[in-house]
Amino acid sequence: MMRIQAALVATLVVLAPAAAQQPAAPRPVAGAIALAVDATEAPRHLFHVRETIPVSPGPLTLVYPKWIPGEHGPSGPLVDVVGMRFSAGGKPLAWKRDVADMYLLNLDVPADAGGSIGVELDFVTPAEAAGFTSGSSATAQLAMVSWNQVLLYPAGPKSDDIRIQAELRLPAGWSYGTSLETESGPPVGGPAPGAPAPAAPDGRAVPVTVRFKPVSLTTLVDSPVLSGAHFRTLALSPAGDARPAFLDMAADSEAALAAKPEVLDAFRRLVAEALRLYGARHYDRYRFLMTLSDHTAHFGLEHHQSSDDRIHERSLVDDDLHLLHADLLAHEMTHSWNGKYRRPIGLATPDYRQPMDGSMLWAYEGLTNYLGFVLAARSGLMTPEQARDHLASIAAGLDNRPGRTWRPVEDTGTEAQLLYGASDAWESRRRSTDFYEEGTLIWLEADTVIRQKSRGARSLDDFCKLFLGGTDSSPAVRTYAADDVYAALGQIAPHDWKGFFTERVQQIRPKAPLGGVEASGWRLGWSEEKGPRLKAQESAEAYNLTDERFSLGIEVGKDGSVVDVLGGTPADRAGLAPGMKLVAVNGRRYSRQVLQDALRLGKGGARPIEILAENAEFFKTYSLDWTAGPRYSRLERDPAKSDMLGEILKPHAAPGK
């Protein structure tokens, strides 16, 4: 996605918090940028950086990465760069920010610069556990280093053409995981168990210093480093695998690393199922970089040979939290094939300055969301019941979203760079990044079409092998357009695929595309009993969400605040709105149990449910006319059709393969 001129290639180093701690400048490689990052103060959310950038005399523009791959938007955290200084020939060098593009810094390199300039800066990661990589990335016990946050590079060349040698300094006793190859320092995963920790002559612990082999700027940004005091590495591939996969885990406690054996077995099966699905790998090695903390942002971000997977601290030992993250690793690993190796042309930009076109996120993220769901079920990360419940939740949520009446799903991809940061309030009217979940329904339907037309001889698995698989290779990028998708599907099963996707992606559809659910032998139904996913959301302290969207029409947060109100529902007609706070239900102080008791006991009655709500210091009672009782989504079996969904989700790889 990025490139650079050979004449402008640079060198980077790290600024330590104090002179006594300052590391030696990294040894520059000819023609490469040398980058050193001091993360020894990561527990304070503070990183120190020094760069040395080879340059020629004259005007120079440096770039801070703005458009971040996988985040599909201009999310580079520029506001968190502080203490920036430049020098040339040992003298301070003046700089000025571009007034039109704040991510550009303009300098004038003097003739006596000696062939390079020095850069010093600090990066301060927020403490708030929100957002994507620009959110909290460090705690007292761990840190994730995203290289795009701690470097500048010369404007002009493509990122593929810039060479960088990176060096990283970590707190004493910490281990690390990354897909980068180590040139010197402790190996990935840390020293052998029982090996003594390095110490200075006075007995003090010595920070960990790792020097990585030179790579392109593209590869560096695509290869974050997870580190921490509580660290564990698990091999996920059979011994001797030429392209092995690993799980690197850093946690805020040693107890969080004690994953249940069945969970770890499911991760191993995930790797086997992925290889069976795609038939080839486009990585030399693959590492899941799993952050287990309640104090970092929670999300997944794809990379070609790794993934940045941040989940709650007890997600590997708590069944509810595990279920709520069950398809995360499957989704992110799928991106190694769909998103990194094969990529919509509008998302394959040459550097981190160029805007991205998200109009094909229905293929990049939508297809990945479906395949991640399928792989999670096939590997046992979700049981069949949990998988059906998850699909029912997706179908019900999208089928009851009033925002569908004014915008197509393609538009949610085009506007993704804004929607990722949008409030949850009024989400149902706005539509969110719906290309993820709607993509699951659309690609399930495509799968059923292929199976029906081929009389079961072919499936979307064959498309994956053709379009995303091929033969094993090192990381590479092959771009595609919508017509390439249609043509490849046509090779698997002749059909009007362009018309199929045009109708479902580009046209306004007031109701969700449930054709795949119904063709697979199931249909969306309703129950008074909550499904496993909703039970997990309610019981997990990190979520504690009350979801009564399909009865009263409201979603309520842990403190009683209304998160969203569905249009046309009793709550909407009564006048409730996001941001209000529930105070009482039928005259009794609000709690989830009080609300749900009122729903259950009011079934078949004649009286509305009375809710007292606070609206920014003002109080009002709202009457919700609903007497049908609790209503939660589920999938119901259609006995007139075969269980194609069960066939899609059953394990496909032989054990240990």
- pLDDT tens-digit series, residues 586-602: 999 999 999 999 999 99
Write down the pLDDT at residue 30.
Answer: 57
- Look up tokens 């109009």; give the residue: 359
- Give the pLDDT band of residue 127 (cuts 50, 70, 90): confident
Residues 581, 439 share a domain: no
Residues 378, 519 share a domain: yes
- Give the pLDDT band of residue 654 (cuts 50, 70, 90): confident
Mean pLDDT for the stretch of residues 105-129: 94
Q: Which of 35-39, 88-92, 383-387, 521-525 has the least mean pLDDT?
A: 88-92
Question: Is 147 inside a domain boundary?
Answer: yes
Residues 407, 336 share a domain: yes
Residues 386, 245 share a domain: yes
Q: Pairing relation of β-strands 245-251 and 286-292?
A: parallel
Question: Is 348 inside a domain boundary?
Answer: yes
Residues 515, 392 share a domain: yes
Under 8 Å CB-to-CB from 24, ≥6 apart: which residues?
none
Tell me, what CATH number does 60's domain have? 2.60.40.3650
> Hey, what amino acid is at 215?
V
Mean pLDDT for the stretch of residues 434-455: 98
Residues 110, 56 share a domain: yes
- Cα gap 240→264, rounded to integer Å: 19
Number of domains in the chain: 3
Question: Is 575 inside a domain boundary?
Answer: yes
Residues 652, 559 share a domain: no
Tell me, what CATH number does 417's domain have? 1.10.390.10
* Single pTM value for the model: 0.93
Question: Is 540 inside a domain boundary?
Answer: no
**Structural domain harbouring 280:** 229-444+476-481+506-529+638-657
Tell me, what CATH number does 557's domain have? 2.30.42.10
Residues 642, 588 share a domain: no
CA 412 to chain centroid, in Å, comes to 17
Mean pLDDT for the stretch of residues 577-585: 98
Of 563, 607, 606, residue with least CA distance to 585: 607
Question: Is 546 inside a domain boundary?
Answer: no
C-alpha distances in angstroms, 502 versus 355, 514, 604? Answer: 24, 16, 44
Residues 81, 24 share a domain: yes
| Burial track 465-494 (b if 16+ CB lie within 10 A, e otherwise) | bebbbbeeeebeeeebebebbbebbeebbe
Torsion angle, alpha carbons of 317, 320, 325, 327, to 10: 100
Residues 566, 514 share a domain: no
User: Is residue 271 predicted with pLDDT exceeding 60?
Assistant: yes
Write down the pLDDT at residue 13.
Answer: 33
Question: Is 32 inside a domain boundary?
Answer: yes
Of 238, 267, 269, residue with least CA distance to 650: 269
